[in-house]
Amino acid sequence: MKPASFCWLSSAVLAAYGLLVVANNETEEIKDETARDACPVRLESRGKCDEGGQCPYQVSLPPLTIQLPRQFGRIEEVFKEVQNLKEMVNSLKKSCQDCKLQADDSRDPGRNGLLSPSPGSQGEADDNRVRELESEVNKLSSDLKNAKEEIDLLQGRLEKLNLVNMNNIENYVDSKVANLTSVVNSLDGKCSSKCPIQEQIQSRPVQHLIYKDCSDYYTIGKRSSEIYRVTPDPKNSSFEVFCDMETMGGGWTVLQARLDGSTNFTRMWRDYKVGFGNLRREFWLGNDKIHLLTKSKEMILRIDLEDFNGVKLYALYDQFYVASEFLRYRLHVGNYNGTAGDALHFSKHYNHDLKFFTTPDRDNDRYPSGNCGLYYSSGWWFDACLSANLNGKYYHQKYRGVRNGIFWGTWPGISEAQPGGYKSSLKEAKMMIRPKHFKP
Ligand SMILES: [Ca+2]
């Protein structure tokens, strides 16, 4: 083989190599002029060819310089950045280790009074902490419970105090009024004994300057059941009442009457407060007036009831008082006697005594999920809700659905009625009061 052929071959080999290394025409500037001019490529034989046809030749190539694209210059920057990142990672690693060491130190029981772990026991330390927090929570919850009980207790005492104070004041005023009345009456007596002319006046109703209720009219000789004007409390204005002068000797001030359904009793707080209806037929006298009447003297309550079969029964309560509006007209009723049964104290759960007055627009009952007054279409001293409701709807015939008619829970045969079956309202009801110590 001639040397010129070798040069051509080596050039071809170099060109192919360059193409392989950089497959880009722009950068293909292989500096092979020297190879073409001086031909530094040499092929040397290193012995004989073996039997398989493989020959030990050595090709010496000239030094090679390749121009790389501009972007390759960034490799160095990338290397630098990688180096920086590596350093950062290392420093972070170190600070992390420092952190861990510090955290371990801070768990040292000598430096933190809250924890008392056994040496080297991380799980137990956590358990102890959890237990401690639990006991703290338990303590707080029991403290809260105690506080709630105390608040309840104080609330009860406050209510009692309120009642006591109101009663004291009322009693004080009553005794003053009673004293004055007796002084006036005794003066009247003295005058009439010394002045004969006055005896004619004596027959007139002047010995009672104040007619507190119907019993005072009875005392001065009034015997007809009529409307009279009473002044149970001199500090408040007088008002008209209907007096029953026949039942059980007479002297009764009527508070409520149901006869024929001519008056609607599904009314709001304001109406029950001032009263409504017709005194000669159906009416509610009014909670403010009932309060004044019952605080002026110790009163007894009589309830007369009649059903559509003509059965007439009554209930007599030896104690009856209705508190002021401030105390939501709370009912105090006791010492039952009579034939109709004590529906106002039906059971532990249906007891109207000591209950507040509730109307469809004012929920003072003991039923937490709703308003008994709204449900039973009435204003009454509802418990949760009722065993009596004399202000219920007037039904002329038997009715179904909610038992919102005029109702007395101890009425004979009433418990036999099926919940979904027909019910009867009472035909007549009357509530009236008279002083406890009145003798007709
Ligand atoms: Ca309620």
Share of the chain above pLDDT 70, in %: 72
Give residue 374 CA to ligand 1 midpoint distance, Å: 10
144: pLDDT strictly greater than 50: yes
Size of the chain in residues: 440
Quote the mean pLDDT of the chain. 80
277-296 pLDDT, tens digit each: 999 999 999 999 999 999 98
Task: Name which residue leads in pLDDT, 439 or 33.
Answer: 439
CA 258–ligand 1 middle distance (angstroms): 26
| Selection from 72-81, 91-100, 187-196, 378-387 with the highest mean pLDDT | 378-387
What is the model's pLDDT at position 226? 97
Residue 51, pLDDT > 50, answer yes
Minimal CA–CA distance to 14: which of 59, 56, 72, 68? 59
Q: Please determine, for residue 143, whether its predicted confidence score (pLDDT) is greater than 60.
A: yes
Given a cut of 60, is residue 27 above it in pLDDT? Answer: no
Of the two residues 147 and 356, the one the predictor is more confident about is 356
pLDDT score for 45: 77
| For residue 4, pLDDT beyond 60 | no
Q: Is-above-0.75 flag for pTM? A: no
Q: Are 286 and 236 in contact (CB under 8 A)?
A: no
Q: What is the pLDDT of residue 2?
A: 42
Taking the C-alpha atoms of residue 32 and residue 27, their distance in angstroms, rounded to an integer, is: 14
Which two tokens mark 128? 């102890």
Q: Report whether pLDDT(25) > 50.
A: no
| Distance from Cα 346 to the centre of ligand 1, integer Å | 19
CA dist., res. 204 & res. 222, Å (int): 12
pLDDT at 108 (0 to 100): 42
Give 291 Cα–ligand 1 centroid separation in angstroms: 23
Q: 392 alpha carbon to ligand 1 midpoint, in Å? A: 17
CATH number at 214-435: 3.90.215.10
Q: Which of 15, 16, 58, 54 is nearest to 35 (CA)?
A: 15
What's the confidence (pLDDT) of residue 15? 42
Position 31 scores a pLDDT of 43
Q: How far is the CA of 367 from the centre of ligand 1 (A)?
A: 4
Kindly give the distance from the C-alpha atom of residue 141 to the centroid of ligand 1, in angstroms, as a whole number.
Answer: 29
What are the sequence ranges of the domains in the chain? 214-435
Cβ count within 10 A of residue 89? 10
Does the pLDDT at position 109 exceed 50?
Answer: no
pLDDT tens-digit profile of 177-230?
Answer: 666 656 655 565 454 444 444 444 444 544 547 899 999 999 999 999 999 999
- Which residue did the predictor score with more confidence, 115 or 52? 52
CA of 343 relative to ligand 1 center, distance in Å? 21
Q: What are the tens digits of pLDDT across the range 367-387?
A: 999 999 999 999 999 999 999
Q: What is the pLDDT of residue 314?
A: 98
Q: What is the arithmetic mean of pLDDT over 60-80? A: 73
Cα(322)–Cα(290) distance, integer angstroms: 7
Q: Looking at residue 76, what is its pLDDT? A: 76
Task: Evaluate if residue 3 carries a pLDDT over 80.
Answer: no
Q: Cα(33) to centroid of ligand 1, in Å? A: 111
- pLDDT category at 18 given cuts 50, 70, 90 is very low
pLDDT of 142 > 90? The answer is no
Confidence (pLDDT) at 405: 97
Position 29 pLDDT exceeds 50:
no
Q: Which residue has the higher pLDDT, 74 or 404?
A: 404
pLDDT band at 1 (very low <50, low <70, confident <90, very high): very low
* Strand locations in 97-183 (E): none
Ligand 1: centre distance to CA 273 (Å): 19
In the chain, the amino acid numbered 181 is T
pLDDT in tens, 318-365: 999 999 999 999 999 999 999 999 999 999 989 999 999 999 999 999
| Reported confidence tier of residue 30, pLDDT bands at 50, 70, 90 | very low
Output the pLDDT for position 307: 97
Between residues 165 and 131, the one the model is more confident about: 131
Find the 370 Cα to ligand 1 centroid distance in Å.
Answer: 4
pLDDT score at 215: 97
Structural contact between residues 334 and 318, judged by C-beta atoms closer than 8 angstroms? yes
Asked whether the predicted pLDDT for residue 120 surpasses 70, the reply is: no
User: What residues flank ion ligand 1 with Cβ within 5 A?
Assistant: 363, 365, 367
State in Å: Cα 369 to ligand 1 middle: 6
- Ligand 1 centroid–CA 406 distance in Å is 20
pLDDT at 100 over 90: no
* Sequence-separated contacts (24+) of 283-288 with Cβ below 8 Å: 283/242, 283/256, 283/257, 284/255, 284/256, 284/379, 284/391, 285/241, 285/254, 285/255, 285/256, 287/322, 287/325, 287/329, 287/357, 288/325
